[in-house]
Structure 1
């Protein structure tokens, strides 16, 4: 059974590093969450390292720019690992071919920026679906539209045998209290329809490999037992940590605020019921990161 804690400081001295989710934990998609920022700054002052591990489809530089816009100061973190960078590496290795159909909003155009960390990357050309060898999905065209509106295109893609590279496994996020669909919802629909979806963010291993490399660059070798993963997604943050044998701190006041009856802290019975339904076993739980 998960242990409910009141603040990060209660347990932080047990860990040398944190893998911290962003959306719903450090910011709400519009602005920084002050208590979370303060907690991370305090942790770093003790010598701890903070790697922000996000399912954002954006490259690391784009997330850094977004954090500045939201008011998250750079002294609250050491480095960033994004699902976008992990997926981009796979794309430039040719995982879904060189001629790809981009399924996503125009604002995600930076996903196709040149990449320097891959030796001899292939040339990627964006084409119409009829001419595509594969799909790169960074999200629905409109995050407010139910992914089911994409069924005609996805049916054609399945008939063509195209693989779908999912740049963000999240199903939904809450932007300032407004729920939006993410690429993970499109990928799940495509899989349900019989297509093949490839994932590179949480809870799948590639992003944890990237996060460990980012951590090694700033702190050297740190054992998994000395890392705490923090996030509000039972099926992404907690499931991923469980799969990597990393302890986790579940933020119940994010995506599952209603189900766990969280205001300041979760209602214990509601929390346990929710975690049982999700088959999720976080090491610790807190209402909001502080």
Structure 2
């Protein structure tokens, strides 16, 4: 049975490192949650390490650029590891070819222009038109404010017919931007697969992002045993399922994407609603909390 806790401090002594989700846990896409920031600061003050593990389709350096305007201070985290980082590795390794059509907004162009040091001077990636492409890199809709996956059905039919593989840089289906829910790359990749196309995923819940997080944590601070790493997130299909697949304990933040399922008080999930919902999702996180604090 999942234990509902009131604060991270109740359980933090059992862990040396956190793999903490960003969107829905630390911020809402516009501004940080002060209580979540304070919880991470307190964990670090006692010697813990915080890895911000996000399905953002941009490399970590571009994720960090938004922190100042969202009021996320540097002393709340140690490392950032993004789905964009893991997907970049796959792209430069040639997972979907060398001539790439980019499906995504201009804000994600850093995925192509910021080349990781380990890939400098190696095989080049060329961004081309859809007609010239050997593969697709999807970081989201072109216009995430207005478009839905259905807007791409005709394009995906043509891509599937040509046998193009799609590298999905963000497996999330949706996120909440303030009060607005928007589609992510994962929703586009899901439609492409439903239509018979081939999609490759590197972010949560898939292993590449966890492998990268462990490597970076080990290189910087030494790697604790998996039993001393706590995953934190609000995505049942990404954060919670990913933690289960990696053998990590998980703190499920109920006040994120699925908040309406657990009663009227976002800070206090109703256990009578939580347990059957988790059973229906076939997930059993060790802990749950309304909001990270």
Give me the TM-score of the superposition, normalised by structure 1: 0.98
Listed one character per residue, the Cα deviations across residues 142-176 of structure 1 (whole Å, up to 9, x for unaligned) are 22321111000000000000000000000000011
* CA distance in structure 1 between the partners assigned to 2:207 and 2:119 by the alignment: 18
Give the CA RMSD over aligned residues: 1.0
* CA distance in structure 2 between the partners assigned to 1:180 and 1:121 by the alignment: 36
Instruction: Kindly state the Cα deviation for residue 215 of structure 1 after the two structures are TM-superposed.
Output: 1.1
1:186 alignment partner in structure 2: 188
The correspondence for 2:261, drawn from 259, 262, 265, is: 259
Contact 1:80 1:214 (8 Å CA) reproduced: no
Instruction: Kindly state the Cα deviation for residue 119 of structure 1 after the two structures are TM-superposed.
Output: 6.3
* CA distance in structure 2 between the partners assigned to 1:244 and 1:26 by the alignment: 22
Contact 1:78 1:218 (8 Å CA) reproduced: no
1:53 alignment partner in structure 2: 53
Listed one character per residue, the Cα deviations across residues 55-86 of structure 1 (whole Å, up to 9, x for unaligned) are 00011100111122211000000001000010
The correspondence for 1:153, drawn from 155, 168, 174, is: 155
Spell out the pairing of 1:112-123 with structure 2 (5 A cutoff): 112-113=112-113, 114-118=115-119, 120-123=121-124
Classify 1:80/1:13 alpha carbon distance in 2 versus 1 (closer, same or farther; 3 Å): same
Spell out the pairing of 1:142-221 with structure 2 (5 A cutoff): 142-143=143-144, 144-221=146-223
Listed one character per residue, the Cα deviations across residues 183-224 of structure 1 (whole Å, up to 9, x for unaligned) are 000000000000000000000000001111121123212110
Spell out the pairing of 1:1-290 with structure 2 (5 A cutoff): 1-113=1-113, 114-118=115-119, 120-143=121-144, 144-261=146-263, 262-290=265-293
* CA distance in structure 1 between the partners assigned to 2:283 and 2:161 by the alignment: 35
> Secondary structure in 1 aligned to 2:261?
coil
Gaps of 5+ in 2: none
Contact 1:264 1:287 (8 Å CA) reproduced: yes
Number of corresponding residues: 290
Give me the TM-score of the superposition, normalised by structure 2: 0.97
